[in-house]
A and B are shown apart, each in its own frame.
Chain A
Amino acid sequence: MRLLGQIATRLISYVLVIAFGLTVVFFVPRFAPNDPVEAMLAQVSSQGAYMDAAQADALRASLTDAFGLKGSMLTQYWNFIKRIVLTGDFGPSLAMYPTPVSQLIAQALPWTFGLLLSSTLIAWVLGNFVGLWAGWRPNRASSRIMEGLAIIVYPIPYYILALVLSILFSYIWPIFPLTASVHGAPWSFAFIRSVIWNSFLPALSIVLVVFGWWVISVKAQTTQLAEEEFVRYSRLKGLGDGRILTRYILPNAILPQITFLALQIGLMFNGAIVTEILFEYPGLGHLIYTAVIQGDYNLLMGTISLSIVAVATATMIIDLTYPLLDPRIRAR
């Protein structure tokens, strides 16, 4: 019963966080000084289309309706929430009118997800493995080399690394493409190969930097744990190194890393903005960039809302599953 109560509390706070986030997403653009309808009208007339006053009024009315700007602020808000919750519809993109925002996101999502999920997981597994080893045997040459590499790579901003990689491997030695272009029939071998080919450099730039961070953090954990009394005691019980490492140190060292991983996966929905722009990679980051540059409110609201929901969901999942991993957190 206590457990159910805890889950219920957590779910309620989840809903509240999202509601608050969506409210901010709704109100902030409405307090901005520019009017998207007028901007759109100006764009249309600047393209040389002639409209008389009646036509302009009709267009204004239909745009206001399409953008969800009709009625009082409160009705707009209510309609906005209703639309999102019921249909996940953020309206049409203003820059790529009339393509719906949801469709643009749906197109970009697999790209970002494929890139970030794979690079994050690779970096996580590699980083934890190397960090664990470096912390367990800090005096080995291999540990020192890997740790040195991690410390050198970790403070480099990923976009600088991306730029360097791009110049090196797309320009000086043109091994990888400079911008993403995918060919082949969907899900054919050629298609998958071309996706991996195109994602390689952006993924590498993310893996390297994130890897450094995982190495450093898990190494610190491991060194500290190796000094713990229970590790010394397990050694005095005659347990072998392998067993101590896998049963006593690893499970304890990995707990905070799981939290970080879940948060990272939540943040994934922002995309790796600069990486995606640099490599012309058609993911969410690129989409957000386009939305900002072109003043595409609906698209911006859609991507930001998605990111809010994703982070809130990720943290909720950690909170709910953590007691399964760490008995000390369990309800007593």
Chain B
Amino acid sequence: MIELKNVRAGYGTPDSFVAAVDDVSLTVNDNEILGIAGESGCGKSTLMRTLYGDFSGGLKMAGGQVTGRFTDPDSGRTTTSEANRFQDLWWDVMSYVPQGSMSVLNPIMKIEKQIVDALPKREKKGSKAELRQRIVEFLAGFGLPETVLDSYPHQLSGGMRQRVLVAIAAFVRPRLILADEPTTALDVVVQKRILLMLVEIQRRLKNTLVLVSHDLGVHYQITDRIAIAYAGKIVEVGPTAEVFESPRNPYTEALIGALPRVGQKGERVGLEGRPPSLASPPEGCRFAARCPEAQAICRKVSPPLADKAPNHASACHFR
């Protein structure tokens, strides 16, 4: 379980700080698939990096707390840690699936080495042949042949590469897997395979999967809960089916309304305008300028993220 309390994270100096994640509180439960959705620049990648404790490239946490409590199912031992110490848990308790691209794997290293070199000590017990055998069996479970291990990245197709990336992350049996746009840039057939693979792994390990994607379809298919981000804030979070059925936030409603449906005639209506600048966010609700239901109060007071139904919270004054 990971708990975020009033987290403020972003880039820059204290004088000119751009908070890509601003005052976000969120609980990521054990044994669930949590989706984080939102458009480009809404802060979902920064939120993801904060969850993973990846504070590089100028990302800083300016306030709040990220606490992780992970229980090992075999030993029952619990590890508690803060985001700035998560690094010690990488590829042990938590792992990460990047967006697969041509250059995400070392072009001149065989896949086997790229799997083995990140393994924690507990996985490296036994002989090399044994380890290879275990990896082979693990990959076979996802329809990946043994030859993959002796291949270089350029010899694999895009879909295979992505499946390898998922397998590398899952092989260490982590308590938390973070997947950052794992199916973006893949065709729908391959997308489905990757998603099924992610779900199967989560069901098997009973761990937590956090999936970041801008594709609501992906969230609808596999996530248990979904958090909608807008301009550095979480504006709605709740059970996925419920959020899609009866969104409690005008922004979520607009997002869902923009999805094409089978049999639908005419053009879908989008929202006017663009999200506000994160460098100088407006007073009040950040969606107010584009919200069809905005009132005077929306431009003055920022609505808190509050429960509107059991386990279903939204940041809106009126819903």
| A interface with B by C-beta (< 8 Å) | 228-230, 232-239, 243, 247-248, 251-252, 255, 325-328, 332
Contacts and interface: CB of A to CB of B under 8 A. Distances in A.
A207 to B, nearest CB: 29
A238 B118 contact: yes
Contacts, number: 61
B134 to A, nearest CB: 18
A326 B108 CA distance: 6
A251 B105 contact: no
A332 B87 CA distance: 39
Given A247-B109, A327-B107, 8 more contacts: A233-B104, A235-B56, A236-B54, A236-B90, A248-B109, A251-B108, A327-B108, A328-B154
| Top 10 closest pairs, chain A to chain B, by CB | A238-B90, A237-B118, A238-B91, A327-B152, A229-B104, A229-B103, A230-B106, A236-B96, A237-B91, A233-B104
Interface in B98-125: 98, 101, 103-109, 117-118
A328 B98 contact: no
Main secondary structure of the interface of A (DSSP, over half): helix
Nearest to B165: A233
Contact of A239 (B103, B104, B118, B154): B118
A251 B106 CA distance: 10
Nearest to A234: B106
Categorize the interface residue count of chain B.
20 to 34
A252 B105 CA distance: 12
A237 B117 CA distance: 9
Contact of A230 (B54, B96, B103): B103
A52 B109 CA distance: 78
B106 A248 contact: yes
A291 B109 CA distance: 50
A332 B105 CA distance: 19
B117 A328 contact: no
A247 B96 CA distance: 20
B106 to A, nearest CB: 5
Nearest to B87: A238
B70 interface: no
Contacts of A325: 108
Contacts of A255: 108
17 contacts: A228-B103, A229-B103, A229-B104, A232-B56, A233-B96, A236-B90, A236-B96, A236-B98, A237-B117, A238-B92, A243-B117, A247-B106, A248-B109, A252-B108, A255-B108, A328-B108, A328-B152
Contacts of B117: 237, 239, 243, 247
Contact of B98 (A228, A229, A247, A332): A229
